Chain A
Amino acid sequence: MSEQKIIPARNPGQVAIAIVLLFGVGLLIYLVISSPFITWAAIPQFILDETVVDGIKLTILFTVLAMVISIVAGALLAMMRLASNPVLVNFAGLYIWFFRGTPLLVQIIFWFNIQLFIPSINLGFVVLDTNSVVTAFVAALLALSLNEAAYMAEIMRGGLMAVDSGQGEAAKALGYTPVQAMLRIIFPQALRVIIPPIGNQTISMLKTTSLVSVVAAQDLLTRVQNIYARNFLIIELLIVASIWYLLMTTVASGLQYLIERRLGRATYEAPAVWRAAMRILRSEGSKG
């Protein structure tokens, strides 16, 4: 008997929707491209503009710094949340409640205007003008980091609680100090749960940084706003910014994919970075 050709079933409903979609998207693209009000030449002109590139650098700087600070602060908050002292537990709880419960935009504007009720900072030996300490950059970074720390704390708490309690007990029974048990046994296992959402938060942060443009913190969006305030090429410059945001989030997603694939392969092994850090700590420790 000769081999039979197999023809999969068709789904006419999906075909119909696909046709409507193609038509709709095509129409939209046509409308944008054929619009006489868009100066297309402005896009290549501004895409590598020095001001724009400086803005990108700052956006990346905000993202990296805010993520690093919020990861450290979030880890501390998560451990406080799981501590036995009720003051620590409640402090962390209140912090998370407050920073997740108020809009980030409000927090950015708040930090920027803090000199309204704290005009100067008295360090005892020197009195600083609040305005010179809390610049737009500092206000923006504070707001992004403190807000993100609340979300990070919840991600980490989830990760720590996902580790079987028997792991910590076995470590205790073997004479690990609480800090060792956390660093050697519990946290490396929690990482597997924590890293994927941290990746998502980082990608999200790349875009969230655009909110700091309200205090003119000189990120990518602030820069393009400054440019179109002068030449009125609003849509063109927003397209330039969007291209860059898309590029950055796409690269970040790619990195995330690579990291997660690595984690997935070494199912129970700590990530290489963590192992390397531990090796360094260990050799430091044995020297001392």
Chain B
Amino acid sequence: MSMPVTPMVEAIDVRKSFGLLDVLKGITLSIQKGEVVCLLGPSGSGKSTFLRCVNHLERMTSGKLLVDGELIGYHQRADALYEMSGSELAVQRRDIGMVFQRFNLFANHNVLENISLAPILNRGVARKEAEADARRLLQMVDLEGRETAYPHQLSGGQQQRVAIARALAMKPKLMLFDEPTSALDPELVGEVLSVMRKLAQDGMTMLVVTHELSFAREVADRVIFMDQGVVVEEGPARSVIDTPQHERTQTFLRRMH
């Protein structure tokens, strides 16, 4: 028998409401180290909100979230949870990469700075080393030679690949993707997915919100289907996508095809 391993992500009864609107109604799930999990669900089901709770961009209403065994966003003292300060949160977020639907590359920095600045500032890496690392990452995302370009000079697909490189430069142990290809023209989706596929093969732990069923089916180890703030169904990617058990999953998947 093997020792119990700390999961990379552990969510325990995570709830979130915006005013009177209950968006997450008790999400409990865990993601193992090295696992690639795709989060599927109709629009408004709370996928982005959940993802943003994982790095505390969104403050949950109740519940607990642990990344690699560490409570995110709060200090536990006695019976209460105390929210962390901005700079304490910053330290936690350094281990969790995030890729956004709309890229959010820093408009005032060029590609090389976008990638190398966070390691320099937030990890204390020497500039030379950070830039060499950034160039390596650019090669990995197939963008060598574009170091001095500004984000507005790149296509959406290129921007998203830079955004992935930027997140990887912090050497995160977990990567969160929020619909990374939804803002792209169809012909640019493939180049971003292929970078993500490479990343998955290299053993990165990934939580991916996506509508790309074929990507989920092929790359994900597991699929979690969410609807109206609850996890409806989860299981191995192929079996959930090919033979969904719940009616809501079936309806959703039928609409997607």
- Return the contact of B118 from the options A166, A176, A269, A270 (Cβ within 8 A): A176
Stretch from B62-70, B73-81, B86-94, B139-147 that touches the partner: B86-94
Per-residue CB contact flags for chain A residues 249-268 toward chain B (1 = under 8 Å, else 0) read: 00000000000000000011
B80 → A minimal CB distance (Å): 20
Stretch from B20-28, B99-107, B235-243 that touches the partner: B99-107
Residues in chain B near residue A177, CB distance under 8 A: 86-87, 90
Cβ of B117 within 8 Å of any chain A Cβ, yes or no, is yes
Residues in chain B near residue A57, CB distance under 8 A: none
Q: If the complex has contacts A166-B102, A188-B108, A268-B150, are A174 and B86 also in contact, measured as CB distance less than 8 A?
A: no
List residues 160-209 of chain A with CB under 8 A from any CB of chain B. 164, 166-167, 169-178, 180, 184-185, 188-189
Per-residue CB contact flags for chain A residues 8-47 toward chain B (1 = under 8 Å, else 0) read: 0000000000000000000000000000000000000000
CB <8 Å contact, B57 and A169:
yes
Q: If the complex has contacts A167-B106, A167-B107, A270-B108, are A175 and B150 also in contact, measured as CB distance less than 8 A?
A: no
Per-residue CB contact flags for chain B residues 133-169 toward chain A (1 = under 8 Å, else 0) read: 0000000000000000011100000000001001100
Residues in chain B near residue A175, CB distance under 8 A: 90-91, 93-94, 118, 122-123, 170
- Return the contact of B106 from the options A171, A178, A180, A267 (Cβ within 8 A): A171
Cβ of B98 within 8 Å of any chain A Cβ, yes or no, is yes
Question: B interface, how many residues as a size bin?
Answer: 20 to 34
- Return the contact of B122 from the options A164, A176, A188, A267 (Cβ within 8 A): A176
Give the CA-CA distance A184 to B117 in the complex, in Å. Answer: 10
Per-residue CB contact flags for chain A residues 234-259 toward chain B (1 = under 8 Å, else 0) read: 00000000000000000000000000
Residues in chain B near residue A166, CB distance under 8 A: 100, 102, 104
B135 → A minimal CB distance (Å): 18
Residues in chain A near residue B94, CB distance under 8 A: 174-175
Q: If the complex has contacts A173-B93, A174-B170, A177-B90, are A184 and B104 also in contact, measured as CB distance less than 8 A?
A: no
Give the CA-CA distance A269 to B167 in the complex, in Å. Answer: 22
Cβ of B249 within 8 Å of any chain A Cβ, yes or no, is no
Give the CA-CA distance A175 to B55 in the complex, in Å. Answer: 10
Give the CA-CA distance A102 to B105 in the complex, in Å. Answer: 43
CB <8 Å contact, B86 and A173:
no
A109 → B minimal CB distance (Å): 43
Cβ of B5 within 8 Å of any chain A Cβ, yes or no, is no
- Return the contact of A167 from the options B55, B86, B104, B152 (Cβ within 8 A): B104
- Return the contact of A189 from the options B107, B122, B167 (Cβ within 8 A): B107
CB <8 Å contact, B106 and A176:
no
CB <8 Å contact, A172 and B100:
no
Q: If the complex has contacts A166-B100, A167-B106, A185-B108, are A174 and B122 also in contact, measured as CB distance less than 8 A?
A: yes
Residues in chain A near residue B57, CB distance under 8 A: 169, 172-173
Residues in chain B near residue A170, CB distance under 8 A: 98, 100, 104-106, 163
Q: If the complex has contacts A174-B166, A174-B170, A175-B91, are A268 and B108 also in contact, measured as CB distance less than 8 A?
A: yes
CB <8 Å contact, B100 and A176:
no
Per-residue CB contact flags for chain A residues 78-94 toward chain B (1 = under 8 Å, else 0) read: 00000000000000000
Cβ of B200 within 8 Å of any chain A Cβ, yes or no, is no
Query: For B94, B107, B108, B117, which residue has the most chain A Cβ atoms within 10 angstroms?
Result: B108
12 extra interface residue pairs, beta carbon distance < 8 Å, beyond A170-B163, A174-B170, A185-B106 = A169-B104, A172-B57, A172-B89, A173-B57, A173-B97, A174-B94, A174-B166, A175-B118, A176-B118, A188-B108, A267-B152, A269-B108
| A-B contacts, 11 listed (Cβ < 8 Å) | A166-B100, A167-B107, A171-B106, A172-B89, A174-B122, A175-B90, A175-B91, A175-B123, A180-B122, A185-B108, A269-B150
